[in-house]
Amino acid sequence: EDQVTQSPEALRLQEGESSSLNCSYTVSGLRGLFWYRQDPGKGPEFLFTLYSAGEEKEKERLKATLTKKESFLHITAPKPEDSATYLCASSGGSYIPTFGRGTSLIVHP
Amino acid sequence: ETGVTQTPRHLVMGMTNKKSLKCEQHLGHNAMYWYKQSAKKPLELMFVYNFKEQTENNSVPSRFSPECPNSSHLFLHLHTLQPEDSALYLCASSQETGQVLGEQYFGPGTRLTVT
């Protein structure tokens, strides 16, 4: 059974304080590892897809990396507008995406 | 309208009611999805439609009945629901190539409360 575990469950940062969110996954035949951002009262917003170990993608202050067992979402010098819940999902041989519970990030000014 | 829209945004229904959720995507995608999001739980995929054909039914109870009349519209018909069905129901769409699950674009969701 595919599993995705995200940590920490919640993270509070000061503006400018860089950190990383972790996504550990167990999947048979990884097709893709996805990161989404979800604001309160809204649907998830797609951020990145990673397909193979060693791959990295960047968007503004966010950088996603992938190993054979984990993915990290690095947030460099975060701003209050980066506050959101970040979701990780994996898709493997079953084609059905498995989502983690998410990391709730709050960035204080 | 742009992106993925869902109506209604909020719905309160009794356990004996019948209601429907509507989703429309304006992105030209060929696949649409229904997800359930409950508090403190991961997103759960309910149904997948690819080119209007249902390709996945993730062990969803029969009180939830999907309908996909064309590649832009998706409905979720609800009847005889239980209080534990109260959740945020999200619709999503993507462009599938058959090779890999593509990035999904989500609607704002319908907040459903079953009384």
pLDDT in tens, B26-43: 999 988 999 999 987 899
Name the pLDDT band for A28 (thresholds 50, 70, 90): confident
Chain A closest-CA separation from residue B27 CA (Å): 14
Tens digit of pLDDT for each residue in B48-88? Answer: 887 666 666 768 999 999 999 998 999 999 999 999 999 99
Chain A closest-CA separation from residue B48 CA (Å): 9
Q: What is the average per-residue pLDDT within A95-109?
A: 91
Q: Name chain A contacts of B56, Cβ cutoff 8 Å.
A: 95-96
- A46 interface with B at CB cutoff 8 Å: yes
Cβ contact, residue pair A96, B4, below 8 Å: no
Rounded Cα distance between A79 and A107, Å, is 6
Rounded Cα distance between B104 and A99, Å, is 13
Q: What is the average per-residue pLDDT within B92-115?
A: 84
- B4 interface with A at CB cutoff 8 Å: yes
For tokens 């947030």, the residue is A75
Cβ contact, residue pair A99, B42, below 8 Å: yes
Cβ contact, residue pair B101, A100, below 8 Å: no
Facing A43 at nearest CB: one of B56, B58, B90 = B90
Structural domains in chain A, sorted by start: 3-108 (2.60.40.10)
Rounded Cα distance between B73 and B17, Å, is 23
| Of B65, B74, B60, B56, the residue nearest B19 (C-alpha) | B65
Q: Name chain B contacts of A91, Cβ cutoff 8 Å.
A: 100-101
Facing A101 at nearest CB: one of B42, B104, B106 = B42
Contacts of A104 (CB under 8 A, 6+ apart): A9, A10, A11, A85
48-107 of A, contacting B, C-beta below 8 A: 49, 51, 87, 89, 91, 95-102
Chain A closest-CA separation from residue B83 CA (Å): 21
Name the pLDDT band for A91 (thresholds 50, 70, 90): confident
CA distances from B11 to A55, A85, B67, B82, B87 (A): 42, 24, 19, 14, 10
